[in-house]
Every structure is written in structure tokens, then in C-alpha cells.
Structure 1
């Protein structure tokens, strides 16, 4: 019971606190490094392919997680989305975008470890976050494609989703996670671990999307006429 209490109550809240306080601390003390250092000038092709696949895949995956964890099963039924239709979307459509995310992350991680100059430019946190993200995506793909096939009777919306929503209202029931397959448990724990690690890595660049470029005036270049 003590282990359950730590893993499914204390640890998630601890990671969220580190996530929030860590971002505030870093922003106040290290704004000049609030970015992802580019290694494009060292190697461009793998970076472009891997980054494109990862970002095109991860956005639908995040939305899928938000809907699956945040929207109760009964609400889905009320909207006309039955279990069969939801299963198709989660496994097949989610599997496609998950595969894109995995392939992109695999390319980016391989690039960072195998190209010497890229590896030399990387910090320890860069290497760790790449490995953690790759492992997280691997576990997610395994849980979606393998665990769901081996244990089709398991429905995470009746266990993980209810436990997850309980975190927001401070009514967490750790016993809901007791019979969850190990692949899903590891995926959840690693996800929270990345949240704790986030403020101290290049992942902070997610909050620095240059949206101001959309409304900024065009820069005009004029040829200088010489006599």
C-alpha cells in the first residue's frame, strides 16, 4: 500500500510541482538559455526528416491522450462514439501517428548519438531527454498495439483515466492502478518523470513558439545601387 501511495499519489504531484517551480526558477534565472540549441549547421537531412515526423506525429498523439484521459467514457457514448468506434480511433489512427512519432524520435536519437559532432555539441540533459522520450514512445506503442491485443478486455478508460482525473480534484484512488498492465504503468510513470525533467532541458523551447512572427511585418530587402 505504501508503494502504491507513492507511485500513484505522491510521485505524480511531486513531478507536477517540480514542473511548475522548475519552469519559474529557470525563466527567472536562465532566460538566455531558454531555447533549443540548433545543430542544423552540423547535419541537416536527418534533423529535418526526424523533426518533421516527430512533430507531425506528437501533436495528434497529445490530443488523443487528452481526450482519452480527460473525457469520461459516458460522455463519449453520449456524443455517439461507442466502444468499437473509439477502439478503432485509438488503436489504428493512434497507432499511425504513434509510429510517426516513434520513427521521428528514433532518427533524432540515433543522430544525436551516432554523429560525433552532434554528440559533442549535446549536453548530458540532451542525451537523457532523447532516451527518455524514445523509451516513452516505445512503451506507448507497445501498450497500444501489443498489450491491447493480448488483453483486449482491459479498458484504460475505466482505470487510468478515472485515476488521472482524480489528480485534478485531489481525490486520487491509487487502487485503480493495481490491475493495470505493466506496460501502461511504466508509460504513465515515465510520462510524469519527463514532466519533472522538462524544466531543466531543451524541452522548454515548447513554450517559446514564435507566434509573433505571424503578425510581424515583412522585412523588405532592397538592392543597393552603386555608381
Structure 2
């Protein structure tokens, strides 16, 4: 993912785009797009808290295990469900609108099933924690952090429940495909829009020309050239 993103930025910098299909259809896009993207931000934030923040840190912050898992279950489950609903709307739009369907690339046909599998497996893992509690911060999180040290802790993932393995495998595949698909647009979030100054637009319509009262006659006829000249001089 890192090497591919650097390569694409070097050779295809202007290709960092979503290839928007809003011109083909906007009603479903205006519903599914924000729902999917905002929910995905919460999902990503939950994964950062769950996988990158070690358990000893939350204990030091006096966050009990019960409170942590309750928040993860309610907020993570809600965000995941919203992301699945948003993705379902976008996929329905892509299948039902002919112009959008024709704009689907080969990379989209790989990314969409993977993304759907990742989200559904994540929801299944969250739901399974209700009946069969599993502390993923002592297993999956340890394995995930070991990847950054280039020394994967394989037993930590091997002993995790199967649903977590199903969730992780397509997620890793999705990361590998990330730089070569439209997902790369995530690195071009317009954060500068939050702090940039306002842009002043001018209307392209012509302004009504000013007419001097002296140039208007009661009978509707155009004034003589001498009268026009004197009006301009006034």
C-alpha cells in the first residue's frame, strides 16, 4: 500500500480521483455517499482506538473493560451498520443506473466485493462478541501492531476466532489494492477547505446600462446626435 501509493503519486498524481459519476445520477448519490463516508470515518476511528491503543493505556486512563466494550459495541455497531447501508445504496445505484454501470472499472469490480466482505465480517465480529466475548486487544491488536515492526505475531492471529480472520484477510487484500483503485482518493481529502478564505464570485449577467434622464424623450423617439452628445457631456 505504501509503495504503491508513492509510485502512483509519482507517475499518476492527477489520477487521485474518485471518477465521480454525479453527472449521471445525483439523488441516490446524495444519500448513500455521505452516509457511507461519514460512517466509515467513525469505523476507522474505532479501529484506531481498538487496534493501535494498547489495553494498558486505557486502564491507566481509568476506562473499565466493561465500559470500553460497551462503547465499542454500541458505537462501532451503529457506525458499521450505517456504512453497510450507505454502501448498499451506492451499489444499488451502480447496478440500476445504466450510465453509472457503464462507468464501472475493472478495479471497482474487485474492490466492491472486498469492501462488502470486510464490512459484513466486521459487523459479524462485533455481534459475536455479545455471545462469545473475545478480547481482541490481546490477540488481533497485538498481531496488527506487530506488522509495523515487520515481525508479525502469527500465533496472536491464529488463535483468534475465525470471524476475525475472515475480517482481516480481505482487509489486507483491500489495502494492497488501495493505490491502484479509486480508494486512493482518501489521501486527497480537502482539509484545506476548513481554513481557506471565502471565494467571492461575480455574476456573469450583464449589468443594466445607465441612462441619463436627458437621453429620454417623451415621444419615444431617439434624441438627436447633438442631444446625445450634450447628455454625455453632462
Provide the TM-score with structure 2 as the length reference.
0.83
Provide the C-alpha distance between the structure 2 equivalents of 1:50 and 1:150, rounded to a whole number of angstroms: 31
Provide the C-alpha distance between the structure 2 equivalents of 1:172 and 1:207, rounded to a whole number of angstroms: 26
- Alignment partner, residue 88 of structure 1: 70
Which residue, out of 202, 218, 222, partners 2:182? 202
CA contact (8 A) 1:112 1:127 kept: no
The answer to whether residue 154 in structure 2 is matched with residue 174 in structure 1 is yes
- Alignment partner, residue 202 of structure 2: 221
Q: State the Cα deviation string for residues 75-97 of structure 1 (Å, max 9, x = none).
A: 11111111100111111111111
> Which stretches in structure 1 are left out of the alignment for 5+ residues?
1-18
The structure in which a higher percent of residues are helix is: 1
CA contact (8 A) 1:57 1:101 kept: yes
Superposition pairs for residues 134-213 of structure 1, below 5 Å?
A: 134-145=116-127, 147-152=128-133, 154-213=134-193
Provide the C-alpha distance between the structure 2 equivalents of 1:57 and 1:140, rounded to a whole number of angstroms: 13
> Which stretches in structure 2 are left out of the alignment for 5+ residues?
210-234
Which residue, out of 50, 55, 61, partners 2:37? 55
SS at match of 1:206: helix
Which residue, out of 8, 14, 19, partners 1:37? 19
Greater Rg over alpha carbons, structure: 2
Superposition pairs for residues 94-133 of structure 1, below 5 Å?
A: 94-133=76-115
Provide the TM-score with structure 1 as the length reference.
0.85
CA RMSD of aligned residues (A): 1.6
Provide the C-alpha distance between the structure 2 equivalents of 1:96 and 1:185, rounded to a whole number of angstroms: 22
CA contact (8 A) 1:109 1:134 kept: no
Provide the C-alpha distance between the structure 1 equivalents of 2:191 and 2:75, rounded to a whole number of angstroms: 29
Q: State the Cα deviation string for residues 110-147 of structure 1 (Å, max 9, x = none).
A: 211232211101111123212211111111001101x2
Query: Which structure is higher in RCO with an 8 Å CA cutoff and minimum separation 6?
Result: 1
SS at match of 2:68: helix
Provide the C-alpha distance between the structure 2 equivalents of 1:161 and 1:103, rounded to a whole number of angstroms: 27
